[in-house]
Amino acid sequence: MLEGRSGQAHTLGLRHIPMVFAAPRSLFGRVEDTGSYGWALVTILVSVMLLGYLEVQTGLIDRTVDQQTEAALAKLEESQAHLVDRVELREQMDDVRKGGEFNKLLHVLGAIAMAPAFMLASFLLIAAVLFAAVALTGRKPEYHTLMSICVFAGFIELAGQTLRLGMVFAYRTIDVNTSLGMLAPPGVPSVLVAVDPFRIWFWVLVALGLITTRQLGRRGAVVTCVVLALVGAGVRVAASFAGRGG
């Protein structure tokens, strides 16, 4: 067994997950440049998939898409009221209904399959960016250490998604999130979606992990994480406005 940074022989495992919330500094003090985060990564991805499955089982995705489809059909029928060829109108309405069924499939796949895939991709991307940032400072980057930081900090994101599922059950709608965007009027895009306490907490833990493992100094870790957090917030705001515009 490898020797940890604190001088004790230990590696990270599933039993250390609660330390993310209770004692993150102690957790990151146990991080080694090994792939010991593997089971934690599997756990978080499977949990995200299970949360997506539970959301699908509520039936709210189907209901939401059906409402959107009915609204599109009503708008089409109103705009084509002057159309003499009812066959053509019927074909257009059939196309709208088929599009609605396809949207249901996309939403289901997004909740069950794409959500964990996106989380995995985000861990890999963040670790790669941090690897480059560490290398630019002249320090020796340790990829497995950086991945361990991202994976264990990711349990904060998992907590946020669990809370969101609770909100889905409570409010009976999938149009909920953990950001301050919930304070904006329903259906109105807002820059408030950039402020998500769970994402802020995630980046605070990443910065703490970088400092504790000595991958970056205090200033470098804070600056790097603030920049990455702002980039992520900008992407969420842009996606929010683009989604409402579509």
Residue 29 lies in a domain: no
Instruction: Check residue 3 and give its pLDDT.
Output: 40
Domain-embedded: residue 215? yes
Asked whether residue 20 is assigned to any structural domain, the reply reads: no
Residue 123's pLDDT is 97
The answer as to whether 19 is a domain residue is no
Is the distance from CB of 156 to CB of 173 less than 8 angstroms? no
Query: Residues 78-85: contacts with CB within 8 Å, 24+ apart?
Result: none
CB 29, CB 152: distance < 8 Å: no
Domain presence at residue 23: no
- Cβ-count burial of 245 within 10 angstroms (0-12 exposed, 13-18 middle, 19+ buried)? exposed
| pLDDT, tens digit (0-9, with 9 covering 90-100), for 135-189 | 999 999 999 999 999 999 999 999 999 999 999 999 998 888 999 988 888 778 8
Which residues on adjacent β-strands are paired with residue 3? 9
Instruction: State pTM to two decimals.
Output: 0.87
Domains: count for the chain: 1
**What is the percent of the chain with per-residue pLDDT over 90, rounded to a whole number?**
63
CB contact set of 44 (below 8 Å; sequence gap of 6+): 119, 151, 154, 155, 158
Q: What are phi and psi of 13, to 5 degrees?
A: -155, -175
| Unique residue bearing structure tokens 């109105």 | 188
In a domain, 109, yes or no: yes
Q: Residue 28 domain-assigned?
A: no
> Is 74 a member of any domain?
yes
pLDDT digits (tens, 9 = 90+) for 10-61: 578 899 999 999 999 999 999 988 888 999 999 999 999 999 999 999 999 8
- Domain extent, residue 182, equals 35-245
